[in-house]
Structure 1
């Protein structure tokens, strides 16, 4: 700690220090940094929302192999898109990615509207910061970004009080981001800001000794690096309960049903889900009266950002089911289809052995849903 607060850096000094650091320590070989088209940058930016680079890289590479351009993505089915998104989490991103691709093809002749920040930000799943990142990274034109990494750097550098999600705090951070953003080298500058927040100015263990701004950082001067940015006021997560029906036929196939397009696991395929045993039994009485229920498997917990879901798998077997109904299908765990699956359901299906309903190991325990 120091007795005197550090001086506020001029924008030119900030930019020079940041870019000098980036030249030596920044990340220059990420797959989306090669052939920087608006499409490739866009896909990477959406995948990187609330997800670490190391996790994203294999998903991005598989996605590009299957959907090399926006036209290929726009003409794909939602099932194909969500199948490649399975496990990456925060599935609304995948659905919005698909919607945005169709919008770009239908309303912008297949070209991203990178000449307009407002038009980019209006696409599904793209806000002002993501739009700025796509424009800056793919065209080199000046655009301001304010993702989580940049917020962390700026709140610490200026010791900005308050949770960044509050409108007044966010306005202050946008002003600071605009203040420091240069008119040139935008590709390097935006990547450098993200790299600094991800590698040095990390949330848990900031490496202040290696930071090019340690002498100018108010949070560091106070010894309060971990206090900033302030966390969102927390509420205790409520727990909800669900019973999932694992209904297998005599071929070992499992009955799945597609979730509604919005809401929990929107558009993904899941096991039939009920609030309680009575709901499950009522469904069986109506759709599969000959089914034989087995003992319930051990419950496990899946954690979402705003609640915990305790899931009890309920196995059952049926010799024949005349009609599965609209929005349902049989799934063969031994020969899985390319469909999007809810994360805990994917784990359950992978643990099943053919022609048996032996209880599997719980696929997830306190997993964070993304």
Structure 2
């Protein structure tokens, strides 16, 4: 056996540890493939504790695949509001429609068929297949990659497809046929709770440390190896919270591109002065009464970083139509119907002042 191969001896202590300490999560141990699917999509780029209330709200409104398939887009975006990466939920709905049309509304009990669904990659397919259907296939996410590369002191770049494929193969060779879902979740749980991504791993409580080459050599924090990402581009923006005393100006973003189809405050590329802001507000057909600066904010996307300065502008009550596709929205209307992305999260509290 190669030194960089995961040892089968980890299986028993890992499962024993997992069954003793696993977290009580609303989607766990339900034997519900839909719950597994929804939770795994939500958990991409989002912490477990943050996902819990979103999951409960989502499932309460859309309890099954059929209801997801027919949910109006505006409501779907509102249910996802705050989770970010909205293409994930759009792809979920497309996959739900596929499932209704091709599989009678049930996620297929087949790894390759799961892979054919929109937005489902090898990790998500592995999670659904192993957790919900007890099919012995691995589910390799970032937590699992970190655990395995530390166990084996694998010096290769985990961003390379070939490396992930090799780790999948290694895990396929040792995954227990009777408990594949527990094994995959145990690896994920170990990565989330013990073999953590930031700070020092908690090796003193690790159930498999005696099989971990990085622990034995004292080089835990050298793994995983990951090539540096290209630096994000910086984009300066001016955000305008324009209100008339009871409503706030919003606009729906285009149907394609960044934050497609979501709602936003008026915003301009570059930093505007007070004079420029007031001129722009007048160009919208509004009569500004006063203006004040709001705290700066920033939001990081995968490829770009918005650095925002902002102003709150009170205007006289609207008389006539706004220009440039903007509209006034009431406070309750906004809370119930209009999904505003977390990029503008620092300014959502001012909606209450409308």
TM, length-normalised to structure 2: 0.87
- The question of 1:88 aligning with 2:83 is answered yes
| Of 319-328 and 94-103, the range deviating more from structure 2 | 319-328
Q: 1:1-370 to 2 correspondence within 5 Å?
A: 10-11=7-8, 13-27=9-23, 29-115=24-110, 117-204=111-198, 205-249=200-244, 251-276=245-270, 277=272, 284=281, 287-288=284-285, 290=287, 294-316=291-313, 317-324=315-322, 328-333=326-331, 336-352=335-351, 354=353
Tell me the CA shift for residue 7 of structure 1.
Answer: 9.8
| Of 39-48 and 199-208, the range deviating more from structure 2 | 199-208
Tell me the CA shift for residue 127 of structure 1.
Answer: 0.3
Report the secondary structure of 1:300's partner residue. Answer: strand
Rounded Cα–Cα distance in structure 2 between residues aligned with 1:8 and 1:353: 56
Residues 291, 158 of structure 1: alpha-carbon distance in 2 compared, 3 angstrom cutoff: same
Q: 1:78, 1:98 within 8 Å by CA — same for their partners in 2? A: no
* Residue-by-residue CA offset, 1:281-305 (whole Å, 9 max, x unaligned): 8865654265567354343222233
- Higher-helix-fraction structure: 2
* Residue-by-residue CA offset, 1:257-291 (whole Å, 9 max, x unaligned): 11223432222211122214499788656542655
TM, length-normalised to structure 1: 0.83
Tell me the CA shift for residue 168 of structure 1.
Answer: 3.0
Tell me the CA shift for residue 30 of structure 1.
Answer: 1.8
Residues 102, 272 of structure 1: alpha-carbon distance in 2 compared, 3 angstrom cutoff: farther
Report the secondary structure of 2:249's partner residue. Answer: strand
Rounded Cα–Cα distance in structure 2 between residues aligned with 1:257 and 1:272: 7
Which runs of 5 or more structure 1 residues have no equivalent in the other structure?
A: 356-370
How many positions carry a matched residue from both structures? 347
Residues 253, 192 of structure 1: alpha-carbon distance in 2 compared, 3 angstrom cutoff: same
* Residue-by-residue CA offset, 1:38-62 (whole Å, 9 max, x unaligned): 1111001111112222111111111
Alpha-carbon RMSD: 2.8
Tell me the CA shift for residue 341 of structure 1.
Answer: 1.0
Q: 2:7, 2:211 within 8 Å by CA — same for their partners in 1? A: no
| Of 228-237 and 74-83, the range deviating more from structure 2 | 228-237
Tell me the CA shift for residue 9 of structure 1.
Answer: 6.0
Tell me the CA shift for residue 214 of structure 1.
Answer: 1.3
* Residue-by-residue CA offset, 1:213-271 (whole Å, 9 max, x unaligned): 2122111122111111123314444321112232223x421111112234322222111
Which runs of 5 or more structure 2 residues have no equivalent in the other structure?
A: none
Q: 1:242, 1:274 within 8 Å by CA — same for their partners in 2? A: yes
